[in-house]
Structure 1
Amino acid sequence: MNETFGAVLRRLRHDRGLTQERLAETAGISGQAVRLLETDRRRFPRPSTVAALADGLRCGPGDRELLLSASKRPSGQSRRLPSAPPDFTGRADEIKELAGFLTAGPATPAVPIAVITGMGGVGKTSLALKLAEGLAQHFPDGQLLLDLQGFGRSGALDPLAGLGVLLRSLGASDADLPTDVASASARFRSAVAGRRMLLILDNAADSAQVLPLLPGTSGTAVVVTSRRQLPELAGVRQIQLDAFSDQEALDLLGDVGGATVLAESDAAERIVRYCARLPLAVRIAGAHLIGRPASAVGVLADRLADLSDRMSMLDDHGRGVRSSIEVSVEQLTASSDPLDAAAGRLLPRLAVLDGADVSTRVASRVARVAPEQAERLLDRLADVSLMEALTPTRYRLHDLVAGYFDEIVPAAERRTVRCAALETYSAMVWQLSRMSRMPSGPREAWADEIWWADAADLQDRNKLLDLLDDERADLVATVRQAVEASPAEQALAVRLGVGIKYYGIARKRWAEWRDVAGAAAPAAVEALPKAMLFADHGLAQAELNDFGPAADALIRAVGELTSIEVPEYEVTTLANLSHVLERAGRTTEGLDYAARALDGALATGLGMEEAEALLVLGMLHGKLGSPERPAYFARAIEAMRSASSPRMLAMPFQMISHSYRETGDFAAAVESSAESLRLLMADNAGPYLPEAHEDLGWTRYLSGDAVGALEPLTEALRGAQEFQLWDREGSVRLRLAQVLTALDRRDEAREHLDRALEIYGSRGMAAADEARALLDKL
């Protein structure tokens, strides 16, 4: 058997005592290129590369001819396809589906056509070639590949020229080739009629380029690859290729890079994450590790962590990720189709946004076009596989596409885009505030009506809440980015941070409220918004049972309020602080702040704050064993009845239950919890019910009634899932696990703990440790 080019090159290099790096230096090519050639990852180098290597090796005529001969592709084969990459990985399901379709016989259309779409570098051509290898026996009359150059700088191949290539492959002479597309297409259909062949039309620009190249009768099957969706091709089987799974990406990295990858699994996982699991990027990263020690895996991961370094490392001399993305973008922006060109202009602006995905609403504001036009532009970007359509109104930009634009979008344009997104989110949360029927206070007085003008079209509160649910991850990411940026972005982050309270409370999105308020607070310049943000940060942390940091944030808020005159808000903040201090076990501080809150409430006539201060004083006195607790509770309930709604009245009963529970008076605790739940159910309180059900169930369990605890806890879990309250779901599952363990239903308990650990662990919450500890006991 003839030696491969890699084997010849490796033998000649060894004969001369050269390392790969030394040969690369003398030949004037990269060390990576030498490694790829010697391992047969690139089997047929260009003549110029062969000549450079021969010069670097100082080859005589004989060895030079040997290198040149080994570099040539075999001729005279009926299968005129290159081989699939030797390290081809994954795609088993896609191969099975397409192979079954292309060989289904009578069940298949006269000419079965499979279309493989996806972004550049996702492995469309490799999949087509691997598919062809497995189908060789089904198409004994030959397999042909035509590169349509649809996404390349030289321009798409004209259908007439493509037909000429195909006809020559089938034996036609140049003199016999038709000179118009219709005649050439008819000649091609005649030439393949009655043959069992497989035709791969690779890298198609659009359907118009493909249609004249299709056979007309049964026997021949077609595989088309394209970065663009091809809806005009009727009766096809289409596969949209996505990036690899984590395991597939790791397998490919190991196949390319060698055994050193397996020795550094953590670093390897980082590499595939930085490569966004894109096969092209993973393959290039693996090539950097060929023949390198295990320590190189960690070094490469560290280099890829830097975004600008990442794009350079994955470039591969103009044939890598950057070049692949450039070609797609250049084709859009240079297109004569106005929609293509507009989509190309929008793409870099979308890449600036620091969220996981983008909505048509945000895109329309960033592009300064109507939402309907923004949707058309996003659809076009999805058509050419530069974005992914997640839902009819949400789209995702590939990580490496975003990384490509990170290098080239000017700073001024970045500021403009981020400000547009912040203004959009801010308008939505402040529009919600106008619908929330909250009592007027310093927050409402601080706001400017122009802030919500952009959301005037959102008049349905439930639909607005649903929109904010969809946007919440991107909203948080954008605020975190903004507070580290320009003063204009910081000011908008503060505006948004102060306004998001209404959403946090309405949807019980405590984590998002905490993250936005906590990020924005240091960026606030004026005392009032700074105080509101610190207070909100503390209240959100308290809802997540993180009472120590919550108290510290509220103390900072009280400190800011001493410099301005907002007595009602100061009383409210003092009351909240005293309650959080009680929860944190800081009794002495709590008594001081509660007394200040009560004095302020009585002086300003604030009934709700009076009730809360009395409640906290009762709870604190209960911890001290004081007989004054019931009297404080009775005064608090009376004050609350005259100052609030039934829903608000449920809150003090829940607090009273906690106080009695902590001191072992379980009969009074169960009675108060049940009354709190009754009030909320009568008021149809929706997302507030899971907490009340959990509270009653847990109180029953602590009183010794494990069986009676199951029903309210099960209902709490159902409600937490219905309203997507992940923090409540995690807490309820911990409670259920302990109750089920007490009832000796350990398998069910373990299932709840596994899920709780998943919920808390994915968010880095301390409660994950509690879940692990309970699992260990099982």
Structure 2
Amino acid sequence: MAAWRAGEVRTVADLARVLRELRRRHARRQGRPEPTYRELAAATGWSHGIIGEYLSGRILPPTERFDILIGLLGASPAEMGALATARDQVEENRRAAAPEQGPVPRQLPLDVFGFTGRAAQLAELDAALAAGERRPAVVISAVAGTAGVGKTALAVHWSHRVARRFPGGQLYMDLRGYDPGSPVTAADALAAFLRALGVRPADIPEDLDERAARYRTLLAGRRVLVVLDNAHGADHVRPLLPGSASCMVVVTSRDALTGLVAREGALRIDLTTLTAAEAAGLLRGLIGPRVDETPDDAAALAEACARLPLALRVAAEMATSRPTAPLSELVAELRDEARRLDLLDAAGDTRTAVRSVFSWSHRHLSGEAARLFDLLGLHPGREFDMYGAAALAGTGTARAAALLDELARGHLIEQAGPGRYAMHDLLRAFAVERATGGDEPLTRLFDHYLSTAAAAMDTLYPYERGRPAVPPPRTPGPPVGDADQASRWLERERPALVAVAVHAARHGRPRHAVDLSRVLWRHLEVHCHSTEALTLHGAAAEAALATGHGVAGVLTNLGAVHWWLGDHHQAGATFEQALASARREGDAEGEARVLGRLGLVHERLGDLDRSLAVMRAALAVFERTGNRHAQGTQFVNIGIMCRRLGRYEEAAAYQTRAAEVFTELGDRRLRGYALGNLGALDNLLGRYAEALEHLGRSLADCRAARDPGGEGSAIGTTGAVYLRLGRHAEALDHLHRALAISRETADRNLEVETLNTLGETLSAMGQPGAALTRHRAALTLAERTGDRYEHARATDGIAHVLARTGHEAEAREHWRAALATYRSLGVPDADRVPAGLGDPPPATP
């Protein structure tokens, strides 16, 4: 505990080291093993993952949690006071550095065309900004008003006017609080903001409070404008509020946001309908001279639209599409529509006026366009294109494109990118209200996504077996016949594919959800889309378990995501469930696929004999069924196990056979994996030139296949070769690149391996402090994931550093622990440890 007493705690890593020292001391005093992450999680009610983040130095605990944690770890009252001061100093150090770090987000949507009026409200926002520059707390302006009254337009227009006053950036999020679908949760919004502020996806905490704390820390001291659009209420936005007076927040909501005004001191700006003059000005800008030629009719048109900007814009488009019709004729039509709706809805408020305008506009669409508009409300995604529209309407793409153009001209949908469209939430709700007979259109839409995804996967992975037979599309699909087309379509439609799978799983279409999981798993895995994979496979697993359809395949996909994320115990449990299902179904290849994946879990958890046995069992099945691609995969995995166990000739033979199989089948990605493993083997055997040659080819293959995980592995292993060659600067460069990739892709296995190699490199360079930090980070991560080999390797590395810095007793203790694990694993690394137990460590190559 001398470090913090001496005032040397300056960084989050320093503070984490003190927490780990507290944990060790508390265990010694209690005469018990150190409390595990899961035990600390059970005692606090937090996730074991966030405990690991605190003790690894990846996240600074909030003040309240820090006090609880050090109390649990046995800190005395005097120590708690000193440590609290140290923690606050760390936060202050980070705050001072924050303005210099990270990208500057510029997220405001396009300014509103033809914005008119609202002078008083714009002045209120200007005054709030001016006052905020003199206040010690964050300024919050809450724009409240009914649907369609122009809250978003006001917030976006004003934000563009003052953007230059916020050099730290502008963050924008449509929270979809009143969308017919699910609102954007605070947790998801925080994740998006953290990514925009430069946080790698793998570094975003799981816990909502931790995300909010990280967000506030990054914004502290920065001049940032945050626009939170379409909030459902005060509780929806509270986690998204910065803590720094340097920021300003604009919230829009249909809710009065009373709680935000009362608790957070927000300035509420109540937005009512436009004044008569403002409404006339908006119509004048949109329609032209006819407004001044017949001002009374223009005023009547404005009143028929309840002077709501959204309704006025839709009505103005109707007027411009009929340039010879007098405005009085349009007003009469709209009044007739209002009377019709009044018979159905006697609310008599602005909602009736909005629906009147929408319904009036809808009646003037062609029959096909009106039907398509109704059906678009059923689409579970946020965006759509002409192919999705064609599937819903059951028509050709040329006709669908024309109908979408008609809807866009009428302001009933809006462009969201080249060839892509979206719908305002009010219009979406109106469409949903009108939609009838949606079962057949939704079946066509879901079949379109499933069949196109399957065709794209056939293009990209023609050698893959086990993809389900899917119904042929009943409407034209996009071109996915070459690799670039297929890859672009899968990436562009990824959010829609996930949304379709989740909707299908929860609304009586389990087969679509299950089949999307079975079709898309490899694409999501190759491109490291772990968040989307977890959502899609999780929803599909619920559907599969409820119906009994495709259980083994979907659970195998879900387990693979858990393995990638380093949750090896959960992965193992999911694979065991999948294995039982495959055996019940009599699915030999499905069983073998699960066994191969289960072998990877056993390897990480330290049961190497069992790992090798199940991998060999999987290989035997694939040899019987003639599945060459799956055989190649098992050659790679068995070769890795043989290398780990010191059976180097056998390892080389397996990897060579794998490379030959994948060359024959045209799978550059997995050929790259086999070549990378040959490079790792060459490195162990001192064949450095051959190692670099194999790794260069591996990197080229993985890049060609657009596999960031394989690329990171090749780069990291190249760094290990440079370490053995004594080319330390090149080693550090490669290892830092590999570490960045591991965190961007959430590949915990690559991350822990790279951290340990970085520790060894820094130790060889005579930087014991930095080496110790890397090895301890690896140790913490290995504890969290259950990776016994990398845990022993980290302990071994710490022992080397301790011995070199004169802490021989501690070094011997760490070497003994490493040796015990190496021997239990049966790996040759054990041979390096005994000679060093009482002597200086052997020199690092």
TM-score (norm 1): 0.50
TM-score (norm 2): 0.46
Identify which of structures 1 and 2 has the higher relative contact order when contacts are C-alpha pairs closer than 8 Å and 6+ apart: 2
